[in-house]
Structures are given as structure tokens and as C-alpha cells.
Structure 1
Amino acid sequence: MRCQPYRENAVYIWTKNKQQCLICNEQTDTSEPLCSACEAELPWLGGQCGVCAVPLPSVGLTCGACLRRPPAFTRVEAAWRYAFPVDSLITRFKHQQQWPMGRLLGALLSHHLQHAFAEGLPRPDLLLPVPLGRRRLRQRGFNQAGMLAGWLGKSLQLPVQEHWLQRPHEGAHQQELDAAARKRNLRRAFALHPQARVAGRHVALVDDVLTTGATAETLARLLLKAGAARVDVYCLARTPKPGD
């Protein structure tokens, strides 16, 4: 006895759904909308500074900048070098509101972090997304760092405090400035919510791309001043030094 009416067309079965790769549009052979061939071709961050994750020729090194002046944050964990096609996927997520791109990158970053935790990276107590100012949040309609933190928190089973970090003062867009101007632009830009409780806790900042590290440095100093025990940074991609 049939419990469903007969149809000539095949019935859609969710559990047997095959996704298409978001890069090449071919059918995927993985659980994510990314085929194995495209995943292997992503600009994975190999050799890098053990502190700020800037790309270096080999692993196990610390860059000259971190040796001369150690940053306030302890470690940066990034999955990729900021290069094609990751830069295009981030742009489509961040500026064109294509959520599947961000969701895919967030899932892959989660896998990267799970591996890092298994290799000895200390797990943080909570995740804090880098905040947007009110004006930019109204223009964009969402905070990409907040969305990434939400996806990471769910997959890594870590609490997320989206509103503990605030940006009451907005300056020029960081992407439009050089390194020195970025630092000046961030003076007094951030604040902690009065109900934020970071004293004695290991926290991790979440953002999409780390460029000069000025934003991460400013926020890490703010958190350490409030009593945080350790500040790490989790991001999708790390830009190389100019000229590299």
C-alpha cells in the first residue's frame, strides 16, 4: 500500500541531497558546498609567524615585528592567506550579502580551529566578535564578524558575547588607510559594555581578515586592561606584508 500519491517525477529526498561547489559549481564530494579539488587549491596558510600569523617562508618562526614589539594578543589563528579565491568569497559574503559564502568559510575555519585545539592550542572561555560602529552597521545591515562568531560558537560549543565590545566612535574606514593612519583612527574607538565580565578569562576575538593587526591590538589592550587573562584572534584570512 502506497502512502504517497504516485508521481512521475522523482521525489526530493533531503538526506540524499548533493550540494554544488560554490567555486566551480560542480557536484561536491564532501559534506560542505566545496569540492575536494577546490578545497585543495585554497590558499591555505602554511609557513607563518607563530604570533601574528603573517605569512613566512617556513613554520616555527616569529616575524621581526613581533620580536621587536610583542603584540598585546597572544596568538592569531587564520586558515588562509588573503588571496584568490578566498578574497572573492569574503567580499561576496561581506559586501554582497551572500550568506552561503560566509557560512562555508566559517565551517572550514571551525575545522581548522578544532585541529589546532587537538594540537594543543588552549580553548578560549568565550568568543567576542569585532564590533561595527552604528553608522556602518546601518549601511551594511549586519556585522560579518558577529555572524562568523555565531557560527563558530555553535560548532565549537563556545559562548559568544556579541555586545560586550562596542564601537561608539567611528572614523574613516580602515581599508582606506595605511598602517599609521589605522592606528590613529582607532584611538578611543572601542569600549567595553558596562556588564562585560572578562576579568581572569581567556577570550578570542573573531574577525574576517587581519591586515595590519591594529584593530586586534587595540581591542586586546582594552581587554587586558579590563583584566582578561589572555586574548587570541581568530580570523578567516591573513594578508601578507606589502611586497610579499
Structure 2
Amino acid sequence: MHPLLARLRPSWLRHTPDCLLCHATGGDLPICTGCEAELPWLGGHCVICALPLPTEGLPCGECLKRPPPFERVEAPWRYAFPVDSLITRFKHQGRWPLGRLLGELLARHLEHAFAEGLPRPAALLPVPLAAPRLRQRGFNQAQMLARWLGDELRLPLRSDWLLRVEDGPPQQGLDAAARRRNLRRAFALHERAEVRGLHLALVDDVLTTGTTAHFLARLLKRAGAARVDVYCLARTPRPGDA
């Protein structure tokens, strides 16, 4: 086995687990090579926000017109079957092994990106949940992903630097304008957060319109952060795009 892959494997995966999708046996992770190949890997995409595009290496029109406060989004997949189902089951049904599997694959994706020249951040910051939502769900999926990534990539986790101070309706199902209204005063920076001059990476499960990432990156930049990237599992296409 390649030394990098051996280092990326946590202790709970140091055996030959069954594939969590088709239940085939064997493999380094609980997914077989056939199912892994069939995941909706992100092909051509915007070099800034990772919006799926028919071409590679170019920014999308929206990022050209209004550059976002974050520098780059890294996501392995389009938000499509079966990744959408796996994320939903992890996020809303507490299927943590599915989330851990996706986190392991995201860690591999990021290791490759770092090897290709993506700067490593100084710390990982999970997108926060408001207290009522956290009590209802019982866990913050972004924080779990960030903790797994931090362990695998040897990056520090700063889970208390970002605060969700207002709890509006869930972002899922809202259009872009409603998402912006919903989040305008939703976030704050902890008084003990020391972000000045740092390269930071936000961690979330899915990037849809990018509104949450926009507000959080702007908050960090205004506090003096030098660079903000976004790491997530999947990027949604534009409505109507294949």
C-alpha cells in the first residue's frame, strides 16, 4: 500500500470492511473500487467556487462579476446520487459511518490538492449550527467532518471561533435572495478568535449557492484573515443543469 494511504487510514478502518454501498468485501476503505468509480466526481468546474461547468480551469460568470471573499472551494463531487443520499443519511439520520467514509475520501482529495500546490491552511473552521438546531439534531455534521479532516491531514481545528448567533429557517429549499436575508446577521466571531494574518479553511457538507461561505469568509476577512478557502463534500450545479 502507498505510505500516504496507509497514513490516511484510521484505526477503525485497518481491516477489509464491506462496501457500505453494495456490501462487497475487501478494500482499503468501506467502499469498493467499482462503487467509488461510480460516484459523481466533480469534473469541469469554476476555479473559485467549484460550480460545475463544461470547461476546466476557468472562473464562472458570477465569480468574474462579483468575486467572493473566499479564494477557493475544494469539493470532490457534484451533489448527485448516490452522494446526495449518503450526505442526507449522515446529516439527518445520524449514519456516522457514511459521514466518516465521505470524510476519508475528502481527506484524500485534499492531500492530492496540497501535493498539486494548494496552500495548506493554518486551521479548519467548521460552519457553526445555532444552539436550537444543534439540540434538535444532536450533532453538527460540519464539526464532525472538520475533526476527521483535522486528524487525517494534521491540521488544527478551531471549532469555537465561529458562532451562529441567530437561527433562521433552514437554508435548504430557500432561493439565493432568501438565503442572504436569512444569514445577514446570523454569524459572529468569538472574542478569543485570533484570525489576523491566517490562512483558514471553512468546512461544510454541501455548497449550494455559496451564501453561507460568503458571509463567513467576509466575517473572517474583515477580522484580518489573510485567506479563506472552503472544503466541502459536494457542490450543487445550477438549477436546470445536468
Fold match by TM threshold 0.5 = yes
- Alignment TM-score, normalising by the size of structure 1: 0.92
Evaluate the alpha carbon distance shift between residue 164 and residue 15 of structure 1 in structure 2; reply closer, same or farther with a 3 A threshold: closer
Q: Which amino acid aligns with 1:243?
A: G
Q: Give the structure 1 partner of residue 193 of structure 2.
A: 196
In 2, the alpha carbon distance for the partners of 1:221 and 1:107 equals 28
User: For the aligned residues, what is the CA RMSD?
Assistant: 1.2
Trace 1:139-218 onto structure 2 (pairs within 5 A).
Answer: 139-218=136-215
Evaluate the alpha carbon distance shift between residue 35 and residue 195 of structure 1 in structure 2; reply closer, same or farther with a 3 A threshold: same
Q: Work out which of the residue numbers 14, 24, 27 in structure 2 matches 1:26.
A: 24
Unaligned stretches of 5+ residues in structure 1: 1-13
In 2, the alpha carbon distance for the partners of 1:121 and 1:16 equals 28
Task: Tell me the SS of whatever aligns to 1:128.
Answer: strand
Q: Which 10-residue stretch deviates more, 107-116 or 52-61?
A: 52-61
Task: Tell me the SS of whatever aligns to 2:114.
Answer: helix
Q: Which 10-residue stretch deviates more, 125-134 or 174-183?
A: 174-183
| CA offsets 1:180-201 (integer angstroms, 9 cap, x no match) | 0000100110001110000000
**CA positional deviation for 1:18:** 2.7
In 2, the alpha carbon distance for the partners of 1:75 and 1:85 equals 25
**CA positional deviation for 1:17:** 4.2
**CA positional deviation for 1:176:** 2.9
Q: Which amino acid aligns with 1:48?
A: H
In 2, the alpha carbon distance for the partners of 1:16 and 1:122 equals 29
- Number of aligned residue pairs: 230
Q: Which of these two proteins has the greater Rg computed from alpha carbons? A: 1
Q: Which runs of 4+ in 1 moved over 2 A?
A: 14-18
- Alignment pair present for 1:230 and 2:227: yes
Evaluate the alpha carbon distance shift between residue 16 and residue 215 of structure 1 in structure 2; reply closer, same or farther with a 3 A threshold: closer
In 2, the alpha carbon distance for the partners of 1:26 and 1:174 equals 36
| CA offsets 1:63-99 (integer angstroms, 9 cap, x no match) | 0000011000000000100000000100110000010
In 2, the alpha carbon distance for the partners of 1:65 and 1:188 equals 23
- Alignment pair present for 1:127 and 2:124: yes
Q: Give the structure 1 partner of residue 41 of structure 2.
A: 44
**CA positional deviation for 1:46:** 1.0
Give % identity: 70
